Every structure is written in C-alpha cells, then in structure tokens.
C-alpha cells in the first residue's frame, strides 16, 4: 500500500500536468487564432487585378471574411476589406442592387455620422460607404469600405449594379443552362430602330409642350389685361349712364340753356363710353377665346408629351438589361428593368410591369438562392456566371426545377443584354422592394439585426411631369426613409 506522502506527491504531479496541458492548449489556440487573424488580414488587403479592369458588373461581400470583391465581365478587378454589421445590427445576407449614389452623405439615424461616397442598396439605410475599419464587424448594418477605396470606387459603379452579400466566401463561376436567356440580333436591331425615332418624337413633343405653355401664359396675361380694362370701362360707363339719367330728370321743365348743354355733354360722354365698351368687349372676347385655345393647345401638348415619353420609355426598356426574380415562397416570377427615370427625392424608377405565376417542381423542397448573370456577349449569345449564396440545391438543379412561362421568354429573352440576370430563391421579395429598387431579397436563415432596427421604406413622390407616375405602387407601403 502506498503511504500518504506518495499519494500526495502523485496528486500534486497530476495537478501540475493538467495545468501544463491547459497552458499548452491555450497557447496552441492563441497561436491558431493569431495565425487565422494574419491569414484574414492578408486575404482582405486592398488589391487591384493585374490587368486593365472594366466596369464592375457585380460586387460580392463576404461576411465571413469581411471582404468585398468587384467583378467585371472577365473576373475580379478590385478587392478590399470591409466592416459589416456588429451583433444585433448584422448586415443582412441576400441579393441587392445599387439604388442611389451620394458623394457626401450623413446618417439621419446615427448622430449625423459621416457616410462618404455612399452607395445605397436599400431605402431603409443599408449602403456601401467609406468608414473606419477596426478589422472586424462593427457597423450598424452598412458595409464600410476603406475611405480611399470608396472614393476610387464611386465613379466606377452605376445604379442597378448587383450587390450580393453572402454569409460565406463565394465567387461567380462560368455557367450554362437551356433556361438562360438567349438574345436575338434581329430583335435587338429592331428594338433600337423602334426606340430611336420615339426618343426624337418625345424630345420634340417636350419642346412643343414648352412652347405651348409659354404661348398660353402670354395669351392668359393679355386676356387678363383686357378683362381688367373692360371692368374699369364698364364702371365708368355705368357712372356716366347714371349721371345722364339724373341730369335728364332734373332737366324736365328747365328752360336754361346751360343745363341743356350739360345734359348734351353727358349724353355724348355716355355714348362714347358705350362705343368704347362695345369695342373693348369685342376685343376682350377675342383675347379670351385665344387664351382658351392656347390653354387647350397646351393641355393637348402636355398629353402628347406624356404619351410620347411613355412610348419612348417603354421602347427603351428593351435596350436595358432585364432582371428576373423567381420565388419559391410565392411561386411567382417578377421582371424588372431600369427606366433611367429619376425620382424627385432620389433614385430611379424601375419598370415592374411583369409579375406572373411560375411552376416549380417539388415546390415544398428548398431550392436555395442562386444568382445567374450575363457577364458579356459571346458571339450571338451571352456568357453567363452563377453565384450560390444559400445552396439547398446546386445551381443547375435549381434551374432544372423551374419552367419559365413562354410568354415571358418571348417578351424579354430576344433583347437580353449583358448584365441581365435571373435570381432563384426560396425567399419572397423583401418589403424593401418597391418601384425605385430592382430586387431586394434577404436570407431569412441568417441574422438581420441591421435590417429590422430600421424603418421600412416609404412611398416616394414622382416629378409632376413623370410619365411613369401612378403606374407602380410600392410592395411596402410603410412611411419613412432611414439611413
């Protein structure tokens, strides 16, 4: 039997060994964490592709790596570290597009915080902008970029550029599938031939309306001047008639030549005023008729301007990239195109005139979220890529399950251009999708703190002469714009 001293020594040695092992484990973890930080730091430095880059087609933000990468038609062109939303303010993962750009912007939510070179992707305030980068997620939901990078990037992007925020590290890969849009050279040429004269007609109608409005304003002023003069003359005539009537009554039985002469003078004055009144009345009537005619012409010119602008706008839609969104949640297909029509309080109008049911095989089975993008022309066709950010199905299997209605394909496929896209998702369109956004889709199985802490998008006002006015209602009718 071991004695008590031996037992105590063994116990001390056991405690010492455990302490040593714990220290070694902590050191290993610290070393691994430090190494991981170094790897992340190395991976997220600012980089420029070793080639002449073109205009970015899309941006992909990786929440995991705190990095954004911009891609043109031939691959990545720019890369930089970012800082996305912190805990409880998480940047939502999903599919977005730039809806507004503003060089010098300040937040109306967070103490007037400076958000330089802001590129908004939702109207409730999620944006890419310059900001401090501590090396980890630290924003209130936006995607902060290095200040200099944000400034250099600002002039390279356009409204409507795709922005994908992914939970993990993803990149576009070449992709082909029979369901992808195939353009027609003849249809594209016909669309251009149809749009060009309509644009000229719209410009001419706008000039004619401007001239008609000016002519109507001049005619209205002239008619108002004559009407005011006529009223003054009418008052003078009434007074003269009253004075004559009074003098005639006083003249009864009078024999004085002076009184008779006074009455004759009043009679002549009343007759002259009556003559002037009749002449001015006729001229005022002509001026009023001319003013009414000019007003009618101006109203007709305004209607023609709106009609030709709408026709030109609809013709120009076929010369814009088309975006299709297919939702398993709603079993619907949505189509959007940029109208390039600015909205008075910011952004541009997107055409949303196509929304139809769509058949998805096994509709109860998750399909994932996949973004297919036409990167460039390739002969008579388009060269496509795919990005999967939530992969229940792989990209090919997802498209295999969908039957896009032929009438939709007939309307949009023949004039499909580079930057056109098809998005397939389990998610419904976000309430942030409205008539001045392309598509906003948020992954419901990832944190959305930076989204839910903000007011939802509200209605916006069109310009008074907006030909699209009244055509589209927002999917979210909640007031307020946060940023």
Question: What's residue 465's pLDDT?
Answer: 41
CA end-to-end span of the chain, whole Å?
77
Strands (E), 1-158: 47-48, 58-62, 67-72, 75-81, 94-97, 100-102, 118-120, 127-130, 143-145
Question: What's residue 7's pLDDT?
Answer: 53
Q: How confident is the model at residue 449 (pLDDT cuts 50, 70, 90)?
A: confident
Distance CA(259)–CA(248), nearest Å, equals 10
58-62/162-166 β-pairing: parallel
Q: Which two tokens stand for residue 240?
A: 């003269």
pTM tops 0.75, yes or no: no
Task: Write out the H or E segment, with its range, that includes residue 221.
Answer: helix 185-251
pLDDT in tens, 369-405: 999 999 999 988 999 999 999 978 899 999 999 999 9
Compute how many other C-beta atoms are within 10 angstroms of the C-beta atom of residue 278.
11
pLDDT for 473 beyond 90: no
Dihedral Cα 92, 96, 100, 106, nearest 10 deg: 10
- Across 311-340, average pLDDT: 91
Q: Which two tokens stand for residue 352?
A: 């949303």
Most confidently predicted of 210-219, 271-280, 391-400, 447-456: 391-400
The 3-state DSSP class for residue 141 equals coil
Distance CA(170)–CA(368), nearest Å, equals 14
Question: What's residue 236's pLDDT?
Answer: 80
Question: What's residue 468's pLDDT?
Answer: 39
* Mean pLDDT, the chain, whole residue set: 83
Task: Write out the H or E segment, with its range, that includes residue 272.
Answer: helix 257-317
Question: What's residue 19's pLDDT?
Answer: 58
- Across 166-182, average pLDDT: 96
Question: What's residue 198's pLDDT?
Answer: 81
Burial code of 335-374, b = ≥16 C-beta within 10 A, e = fewer?
Answer: bbbbbebebeeebbbbbbebeeebebeeeeeebbbbbbbb
127-130/143-145 β-pairing: parallel
Question: What's residue 307's pLDDT?
Answer: 84
Q: Are 123 and 99 in contact, with CB atoms under 8 Å apart?
A: yes
pLDDT in tens, 130-148: 999 999 999 999 999 999 9
């Amino acid at each position: 039997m071991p004695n008590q001293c031996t037992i105590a020594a063994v116990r001390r040695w056991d405690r010492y060994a455990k302490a040593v092992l714990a220290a070694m484990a902590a050191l290993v973890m610290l070393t691994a964490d430090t190494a991981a930080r170094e790897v992340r730091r190395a991976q997220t430095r600012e980089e420029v592709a070793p080639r002449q880059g073109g205009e970015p087609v899309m941006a992909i933000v990786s929440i995991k790596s705190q990095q954004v990468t911009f891609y043109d038609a031939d691959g990545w062109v720019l890369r930089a570290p970012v800082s996305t939303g912190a805990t409880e303010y998480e940047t939502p993962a999903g599919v977005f597009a730039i809806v507004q750009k503003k060089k010098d912007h300040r937040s109306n939510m967070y103490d007037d915080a400076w958000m330089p070179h802001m590129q908004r992707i939702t109207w409730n305030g999620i944006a890419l902008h310059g900001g401090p980068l501590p090396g980890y997620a630290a924003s209130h939901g936006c995607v902060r970029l290095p200040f200099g990078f944000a400034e250099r990037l600002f002039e390279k992007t356009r409204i409507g550029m795709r922005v994908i925020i992914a939970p993990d590290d993803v990149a576009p890969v070449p992709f082909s599938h029979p369901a992808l849009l195939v353009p027609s050279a003849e249809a594209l040429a016909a669309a251009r031939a149809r749009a060009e004269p309509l644009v000229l007609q719209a410009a001419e109608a706008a000039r004619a309306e401007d001239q008609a409005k000016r002519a109507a304003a001049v005619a209205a002023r002239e008619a108002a001047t004559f009407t005011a003069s006529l009223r003054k003359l009418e008052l003078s005539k009434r007074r003269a008639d009253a004075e004559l009537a009074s003098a005639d009554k006083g003249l009864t039985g009078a024999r004085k030549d002076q009184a008779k002469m006074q009455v004759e003078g009043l009679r002549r004055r009343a007759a002259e005023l009556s003559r002037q009144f009749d002449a001015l009345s006729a001229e005022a009537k002509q001026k009023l008729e001319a003013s009414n005619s000019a007003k009618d012409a101006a109203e007709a010119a305004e209607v023609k301007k709106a009609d030709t602008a709408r026709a030109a706008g609809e013709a120009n839609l076929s010369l814009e990239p088309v975006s299709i969104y297919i939702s398993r949640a709603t079993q619907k297909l949505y189509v959007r195109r940029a109208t390039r029509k600015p909205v008075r309080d910011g952004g541009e109008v997107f055409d949303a005139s196509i929304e139809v049911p769509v058949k998805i095989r096994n509709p109860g089975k998750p399909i994932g979220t996949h973004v297919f993008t036409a990167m460039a022309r390739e002969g008579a066709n388009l060269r496509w890529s795919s990005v999967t950010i939530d992969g229940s199905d792989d990209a090919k299997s997802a498209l295999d399950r969908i039957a896009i209605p032929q009438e939709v394909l007939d309307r949009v496929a023949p004039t499909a251009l580079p930057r056109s896209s098809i998005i397939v998702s389990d998610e419904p369109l976000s309430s942030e999708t409205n008539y001045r956004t392309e598509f906003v889709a948020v992954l419901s199985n990832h944190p959305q703190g930076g989204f839910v802490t903000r007011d939802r998008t509200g209605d916006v006002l069109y310009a008074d002469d907006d030909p699209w006015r009244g055509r589209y209602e927002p999917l979210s009718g909640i007031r307020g714009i946060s940023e």
